[in-house]
Amino acid sequence: MTYHIERDFPIEQLNPLARREANAKRAIAMLHKWWARRVGCVFRTMILASLIPAEEWQRLDQEVQRAGIDAWTALYYREHPKANPLIEKYLKDKVVLDPFMGGGTTIVEALRLGCKVIGVDVNPVAWFIVKKSIEPMDLELLDAAFERLKEEVAPDILKYYRTPCPSPLSSPSSFGRGEGGQGGGERAHLADIMYVFWVKKVQCTNCGRNTRLFSSFRLATKKGKDTVVCPHCYWVGEVEAGTPAVVCPDCGREFHPREGWAGRGKFTCEHCGHVDQTVEWVRRTGRAPEHEMFALEYWCPRHGRGYKGAEQGDRELYRKACREFEKEKANLPLPEGEVYEGEKTNELLNHGMTRWTDLFNPRQLLCLGRLLRAIKQIEDQAVRELLVVTLSNTANHNNMLCKYHATYQKLEALFGHHAYWCPNQPMENNVWGTRYGMGPFTAKYDLSRRAVEWAQSPREVSADGWLSMDDGAVASLARQPSAVVNGASRAWLTARSSEDLSFLP
């Protein structure tokens, strides 16, 4: 028997759809970060073309032309009464094996078309992502669990991400202005911290003084204005975009916003001008650079988004979180083990990060640890596991390897690159989240929920817009592959090597 894929493939019809999906991935693909995710529409078409005989495809093509469509459109969208019988006849209960399933595109699309699936991947993260992509989920139970986290855990996180709004009220301040403070002696009503700007700090081996590894003194650019920070007193303000030199109105010292003291793996001591390499400095000293807080981006319900220099009260709030972490860390579920040598992980070791906890600051570990501790107490296994995936996805945007995109005013996640990028000016996120911001737990929960909804009721892009489909990708997992091959179960997944597949019937 000759199958359609051996004769032809509908590239012309599929290409615009694939291009669109690549730029706006399906909700199920956003459940968790995975590299090189394939677009679902291509795999859906591959499965159809691989299992439907060429003669049947050609016959259907001739019949549906009267309706102004082709065989691919009829089969892909199930838009014609003659399409479903073909899918039922040739795809239902066929076993599709993906021995390198990755993010699970094959598994999801095969289930939607009525096939049974066996998925294998050596990476346990891939296995867990695919497992949670297709397993049944009670959305009411999921929402109830999230509401409990919001009530019981969120306040203990959000209290560490509050700062006085620079537009003050009239009552006296109890927060403290301190170095870099703005807002005078009046009490500022509290705003939510969106992001905390940090800069790495090292001790110059030439003069012995601390120097900060600023790549530039520009925080953001928007509507023809640069938001800049004075490196001497941490005043933050706006100037015309591209202004070459700025005299700080607070301390009177001049600085050049788009210049800095570090870049391309090197840094220049801000005091004596000695040039050094960051990696070499780590090797000589045997320690990682320290971090210094210098600015914040905040959200105020009254005044919107804004930037401010870090105040003494902001630093004390951070130190308070660090003290709480020291008290609780023995009872928190935290990343375990040492960073191993490898092509990607060597970059961490070169920057003095020897344990996985080194990728986070103590406030992040405290907040993420509190969340995970509460999640692990959820009774329903399906809900508990999905929220674990959600927290794992959150960690991608909540670590000290994130950075800030000045042009787009947003945080860039750790795995925005397929590498462990170690920025000189890392960005700390609000772990729980506020109205705006990129990648907090609340935003990741929304992604998880939409992924579940999509798996239950998928939507496809069509010429007329979004089309709701009734071919869900939900399946309970079998305990053994034989239950899929020889029984009524529809899915079996495993985390192991595919060098030897003799464990399959």
Q: What is the DSSP letter of 102?
A: T
**362 falls in which pLDDT band (50, 70, 90)?**
very high
Q: At what angle do helices 362-375 and 139-152 cross, to 10 degrees?
A: 140
Mean pLDDT value of segment 368-389: 98
Query: What SS3 state is found at 317?
Result: helix
CB 432, CB 442: distance < 8 Å: yes
| pLDDT for the residue 170 | 43
The percent of residues above 90 in pLDDT, for the chain, comes to 91
pLDDT at position 395 over 60: yes
Strand 246-247 and strand 254-255: the pairing is antiparallel
Band (pLDDT 50/70/90 cuts) for residue 269 is very high
Query: What is the C-alpha separation between 103 and 449, in angstroms, rounded?
Result: 17
List of long-range contacts for 58-64, beta carbons under 8 Å, 24+ apart: 58/4, 60/86
Distance CA 170, CA 249 (A): 24
Q: Is the pLDDT of residue 173 over 80?
A: no
Contact 316, 305 (CB under 8 A): no
- Are 298 and 193 in contact by the 8 Å Cβ rule? The answer is yes
pLDDT band for position 188 (cuts 50, 70, 90): low
- Provide the pLDDT for residue 36: 86
Tell me the per-residue pLDDT of 126-168, one tens digit each, with 9 for 90 and over: 999 999 999 999 999 999 999 999 999 999 999 999 999 998 6
Give the whole-angstrom CA distance, residue 260 versus residue 172.
37
125-137 per-position pLDDT tens digit: 999 999 999 999 9
Confidence of residue 417 (pLDDT cuts 50, 70, 90): confident
- Which among 157, 59, 179 has a CA at the least distance from the CA of 394? 157
What pLDDT score does 179 carry?
43
Rounded to an integer, the average pLDDT of 285-289 is 96
**Residue 182: band (very low, low, confident or very high) from pLDDT cuts 50, 70, 90:** very low
Span 43-87, pLDDT tens digits: 999 999 999 999 999 999 999 999 999 999 999 999 899 999 999
3-state secondary structure of 196: strand
Which two three-digit tokens encode residue 45? 């078409």
Question: How far apart (Å, rounded) are the C-alpha atoms in residues 161 and 429?
Answer: 9
The per-residue pLDDT for 462 is 83
| CA gap 394, 371 in Å, rounded | 11
Pairwise CA distance, residues 101 & 89, whole Å: 25
pLDDT at 457: 97
Q: Which helix (H) or strand (E) holds 62?
A: helix 54-64
Which stretches within 173-329 are classed as H helix? 278-285, 312-328
pLDDT computed for residue 461 by the predictor: 86
Q: How confident is the model at residue 186 (pLDDT cuts 50, 70, 90)?
A: low
